[in-house]
Chain A
Amino acid sequence: GAVVSQHPSWVICKSGTSVKIECRSLDFQATTMFWYRQFPKQSLMLMATSNEGSKATYEQGVEKDKFLINHASLTLSTLTVTSAHPEDSSFYICSARDLDRGMNTEAFFGQGTRLTVV
């Protein structure tokens, strides 16, 4: 089945530094990928929609200058948390769908990245 790979699986960074998270579709092309954030014991909240070759679409309340998304190829989207602060500590997870499998198919998720800002 379709596989989405996310890297790194966990990262600890100092306040004020930037962290890049990669999301790759391994055996299919993904013109669109989605980035979610999940705080402890909470649900997945959509942050942004990443579109290959164009600007990402951000959800209300998500700072586009803080969470930079780049979707430079059909298999790779990156999320960069810039000038990270402790409140950015969270679980970030990406997803994509293999549209060649049809419109009514499930989304595949990366393994997620647990970010801790100290």
Chain B
Amino acid sequence: AQKITQTQPGMFVQEKEAVTLDCTYDTSDPSYGLFWYKQPSSGEMIFLIYQGSYDQQNATEGRYSLNFQKARKSANLVISASQLGDSAMYFCAMREGLSSGNTPLVFGKGTRLSVIA
């Protein structure tokens, strides 16, 4: 079964508008972390934002915010005031067993965001 599901293969957004990229996850571990990474065409993975399973408040980092709905197991990324440079692939990822060691990230299939001028 998919641990991370991103249902939007591609999204378009007008410059300066906000956009939400969807992510749902599946885990039975009570201790986990959710991450969003941006991958431009160069291939590098750029960390954007993190949400821990025990965090009470939604994470925010500049123009990025994470809409964390634990009961629904969703962790959507909201990008406000989109810029042309935001055009890239966006991956949602999860790390389980936060308290048990150095476990790997599991990635969703990604969403390609295109910002239109």
Contacts and interface: CB of A to CB of B under 8 A. Distances in A.
A108 B105 CA distance: 11
A77 interface: no
A60 interface: no
Contacts of A112: 43-45
Contacts of B85: none
A114 B99 CA distance: 34
A111 B106 contact: no
Most interface-central of B35, B44, B45, B98 (chain A CB within 10 A) = B45
Interface stretch (B14-22, B75-83, B107-115): B107-115
Contact of A104 (B91, B98, B104, B110): B98
Interface residues of B, number: 22
Interface in A84-118: 91, 93, 95, 97, 99, 103-109, 111-112, 114
B102 A43 contact: no
A44 interface: yes
B102 to A, nearest CB: 4
Given A45-B107, A107-B47, 14 more contacts: A34-B104, A43-B108, A46-B104, A46-B105, A103-B98, A103-B99, A104-B50, A106-B35, A106-B47, A107-B35, A107-B95, A107-B105, A111-B43, A114-B43
24 contacts: A32-B102, A43-B91, A44-B45, A44-B105, A44-B107, A46-B104, A46-B106, A49-B104, A91-B43, A93-B43, A95-B45, A97-B102, A103-B98, A104-B50, A104-B98, A106-B47, A107-B95, A107-B105, A109-B37, A109-B44, A111-B43, A112-B43, A112-B44, A112-B45
